[in-house]
Amino acid sequence: MTKPSNNRRQFLKNASIAAFTVGLFPKSVLGETQSTQQTMACDVTTKDYYGVGPFYTENPPVKTDNQLAKSTEPGERLIISGRVTNLDCTEMIANALIDVWHANDAGEYDNTGYNLRGKFTTNSQGFYSFETIRPGKYLNGSQYRPSHIHFKITPPGKDTLVTQLYFKGDTDIDKDAAASIKTGNFDATHRIVELTKNTDGKWEGTWDIVVDGDGKNIGVQDVHLDKGVIYTAQPNPFEDEVEIRYGVFNKTKVGIMIYDIRGQLIASLADKELEPEKYSAVWKPDPSTPPGQYFVAFKVNDLQVQYLKILKI
Ligand SMILES: [Fe+2]
């Protein structure tokens, strides 16, 4: 299916897809009669002013283990993950190529080999994730560039978007010719993401990428927002088991599925018609289940309306 492209920067999307942490309780559950309809911006991912820059090396290795940095790489560990959607954020794009490169902890690029360079692919659900280290800073003239990761993003059959990702709180952003841009084609505002430190000591950031591409519909029809929502998945990160608490507001078929980073279905915790009620499901994976990123998908009538990232340590 081909969707028309356009250049509008602002779209509206259904908040139930990504913003599970904001109050998504339909008002009916809170004792009010009017149902809620939250919307949030769907910001098309912009190019970076500096383009590809001087340090790209062709034909980086394809990474299948989601590890960009070796375990011995000096620096603070960092996990970046998110989803890739089409321009109005209604379709998840599978098999998009995510080509990543960045400087090491000392601010140096490997220009002879492929250290901290690699290609990842979004899974069948449109998710990507990789673990690396926080990039060091390097001088650009007399000014340090803020810590950044370079990206080339190529959805199947579409043009490549070349851009960079920055991190909130970096004091060199305001002085940087690219990262400081707040309007126009090179607006970096939505490419400056917050990093939080997980309980396992790794920094983690979420970056959702919005590009021209064809994906599969993930079910943003308004009707589904009122039918249910995941409240929490705790603890997260988890070691042995994670409890997923969710609510169903109208009698409907609900699915709670666990996917791995490759989009393989790992567990189905619910898949049946449920009465309006609060529910809890526990995923206690087999001990042989490898640590890493997993996704909880909340489905209503087989359409995915929400997802949560969970980390098994
Ligand atoms: Fe760079």
Strand pairing report for 228-234 and 242-248: antiparallel
From 153, 188, 216, the end of a domain falls on 216
Residues 158, 271 share a domain: no
In this prediction, residue 188 carries a pLDDT of 98
In this prediction, residue 261 carries a pLDDT of 81
102 alpha carbon to ligand 1 midpoint, in Å? 6
Q: Is 58 helix (H, G, I), strand (E, B) or coil?
A: coil
Residues 102, 196 share a domain: yes
Residues 232, 208 share a domain: no
Residues 134, 95 share a domain: yes
Residue 31 lies in a domain: no
Residues 161, 128 share a domain: yes
120 alpha carbon to ligand 1 midpoint, in Å? 19
Cα-Cα-Cα-Cα dihedral of 148, 80, 122, 240, to 10°? 170
87 alpha carbon to ligand 1 midpoint, in Å? 26
Q: Extract the residue ranges of the chain whose pLDDT is less than 50.
A: 1-40, 220-224
Residues 238, 102 share a domain: no
In this prediction, residue 232 carries a pLDDT of 81
The letter for the amino acid at 250 is: N
Residue 22 lies in a domain: no
In this prediction, residue 161 carries a pLDDT of 98
* Full-model pTM: 0.68
Residue 30 lies in a domain: no
For the domain that residue 59 is a member of, what is the CATH number?
A: 2.60.130.10
In this prediction, residue 177 carries a pLDDT of 97
Render pLDDT for 31-62 as a digit per residue (tens, 0 to 9). Answer: 222 222 333 457 899 999 999 999 999 999 99
From 216, 245, 263, the end of a domain falls on 216
Residue 34 lies in a domain: no
108 alpha carbon to ligand 1 midpoint, in Å? 9
Residue 133 lies in a domain: yes
Residues 305, 236 share a domain: yes
Total count of domains within the chain: 2
For residues 203 and 237, what is the distance between their CA atoms, to the nearest angstrom?
12
Render pLDDT for 129-140 as a digit per residue (tens, 0 to 9). Answer: 899 999 999 999
For residues 16 and 22, what is the distance between their CA atoms, to the nearest angstrom?
9
Residue 26 lies in a domain: no
Residues 253, 162 share a domain: no
For residues 82 and 175, what is the distance between their CA atoms, to the nearest angstrom?
27
Residue 204 lies in a domain: yes
138 alpha carbon to ligand 1 midpoint, in Å? 8
Ion ligand 1 neighbours (CB, 5 A) are 53
* Contact present, 298 and 230 (Cβ < 8 Å): yes
Residues 126, 161 share a domain: yes
204 alpha carbon to ligand 1 midpoint, in Å? 20
In this prediction, residue 143 carries a pLDDT of 96
For the domain that residue 235 is a member of, what is the CATH number?
A: 2.60.40.1930
For residues 281 and 244, what is the distance between their CA atoms, to the nearest angstrom?
5
Residues 268, 300 share a domain: yes
Instruction: Say how many C-beta atoms besides its own lie within 10 A of residue 142's C-beta.
Output: 5
From 183, 216, 249, the end of a domain falls on 216
148 alpha carbon to ligand 1 midpoint, in Å? 6
Boundaries of domain holding 274: 227-312
